[in-house]
Structure formats: structure tokens, C-alpha cells
Amino acid sequence: MLRITDARSGEPVDVRPGLTRVHAHVAGADTSALRVLLVADALARALELGGTPVVTVAAPAAALRERADDLGIRPGEPDAPGVGRALHVVGAQGGAPDGVRVEVAPATGPAGTSTPPSALRLALLATPRGLPVDLDTGTLSDARDTLVRWRMAVASWATRPSRPIPEQVRRDLRAAWEDDLDVPAVLEVLRRVEGADDVPDGARFETFAHADRLLGLDLTRDIGARP
């Protein structure tokens, strides 16, 4: 069961099974607003991985919706007021109706058109949502390099016999995203698996493909494209 910290009270809240409405409250079209949409998207993915039905509610400006589409962030759906539980994802200075409030710190820095959208998504996910993220040249370069390396590795591992995800790895991944949506901890599990000598390549592939259901980085994109 996913447990999320309510920024209003500072207390953890268990999100029990049942329809959950994830509201992304955004204004403007800057990268901080984009990060709010991304956190709402990751939260919805984490809930769905646990079997919870989710409605994502957002009404961003057209310019922000275009940027969100580039990052693979799902469009908002019609709200269902009064049905299920509502989680409100907001910027640090944003307001929200009464209910559980998931706060997202600002994102700053030059995220220009030369940055692949998936690398920008990874750079934003790699920092805990409660901490500001500076998308400087080094941060974006590291994200690009990691993404290229992981996609190449996944494409290679896909050619090997399939093996199940090691049970401890599966538990570590689930514990990470269910513990206050700790996406950086999910990424750390993948780094450990990448370098673990005792994990077969087929199991590495299954691990990365499974985690990508949360991350949305299209890690399997290059399968079949290698020479």
C-alpha cells in the first residue's frame, strides 16, 4: 500500500484501495509547473502498479500541455467530485482544496530544446520532489548519458534468455515507490541491478522493464535497433 506524506500535517497517509483522484494544480507553463504534472503522473503510475484505479485531473495551459506531452505525461481526465479519495499535487507556493497535499519544490535552469524530453524527465525524477532541482548543463548531461547507457543495456539484455526479477529486487522496488513515492530510491535499485554480477541479464531486462512502468522513460525503445 502506498504511503504518502501530507504536506499540510507532515504526517504519512496510507492510500487505501479504491478510486483515487490525483489533482495536479498548476499555473503558468514553466518547468516548476511541469514538475508538478510529472509528480502527479508518477503518483498515478505508482497507485496503478498497486492495483488502485486512478483518475488524473489537470487543466494546464496549452503551452504546458504540449511540454507535458513531450515528456509522456498522461492528459488529465474529467473529475469525479465526491467519488473516492483526492490527492492534491501542488507547487511549493500553490493552493489546494482541503485534502491530502503532495508538495513539489521548484525546478529551475536551462531546459532548452536540445535536451531530449526523456532525459529531462529523468533529471526531474532523480531529485526528491521536496527538494529544488537545478537543471544545469551537468545535471542534464548526466541524465542523457544514463538514459543512453540504460537503453543500450536493456536492448542487449533483451537478447538473452528471460529470467524472473529476483524477489528481493522486486520487494526493494515496491518498497521504494510505496514509501512516499521515493523515485530516487527506485533509480538507485536499478543502478545496483545494473552492476550486480549475480543477476542474470534476462533478469536485469525484466527488472528495468518493470520499473519503467513507473518511470516512463521508454527504456525498451532500442530493442531490435542494435546492429
Contacts of 154 (CB under 8 A, 6+ apart): 204, 205, 208, 209, 219, 220, 222, 223
pLDDT value, residue 194: 97
**pLDDT tens column, 10-22:** 999 999 989 999 9
Q: How are beta strands 107-108 and 54-58 bridged, if at all?
A: unpaired
Final residue before a domain boundary, out of 104, 122, 150: 104
Domain coverage including residue 202: 112-227
Q: How far is residue 128's CA from residue 89's CA, in Å, rounded to a whole number?
A: 14
Q: How are beta strands 3-5 and 12-14 bridged, if at all?
A: antiparallel
For the entire predicted model, the pTM comes to: 0.95
Q: Are residues 89 and 14 in the same domain?
A: yes
Q: Per the structure, how many domains does the chain have?
A: 2
**pLDDT tens column, 70-122:** 999 999 887 777 778 999 999 977 666 778 999 999 999 765 567 899 999 99
Q: Is the pLDDT of residue 186 over 60?
A: yes
Q: Are residues 131 and 86 in the same domain?
A: no
Q: Are residues 223 and 134 in the same domain?
A: yes
Q: Are residues 221 and 133 in the same domain?
A: yes
Q: pLDDT band at residue 213, thresholds of 50, 70 and 90?
A: very high
Q: Are residues 134 and 95 in the same domain?
A: no
**Which of 103, 97, 75, 73 lies closest to 85, judged by CA?**
97
- All cell numbers assigned to 86: 483526492
Q: Are residues 41 and 140 in the same domain?
A: no
Q: Are residues 189 and 170 in the same domain?
A: yes
- What is the rounded (10 degree) CA torsion for 139, 145, 148, 149? -120
Q: Are residues 224 and 180 in the same domain?
A: yes
Q: Are residues 151 and 220 in the same domain?
A: yes
Final residue before a domain boundary, out of 70, 104, 138: 104
**pLDDT tens column, 133-168:** 999 989 999 999 999 999 999 999 999 999 999 999
Q: Are residues 15 and 43 in the same domain?
A: yes
Q: Is the pLDDT of residue 226 over 60?
A: no
Length of the chain: 227
| Mean pLDDT computed over 201-226 | 94
Question: How would DSSP label each residue in 110-165?
Answer: ---TTS-HHHHHHHHHTS-TTS-EE--HHHHHHHHHHHHHHHHHHHHHTTSPP-PP
Q: How far is residue 189's CA from residue 208's CA, in Å, rounded to a whole number?
A: 10
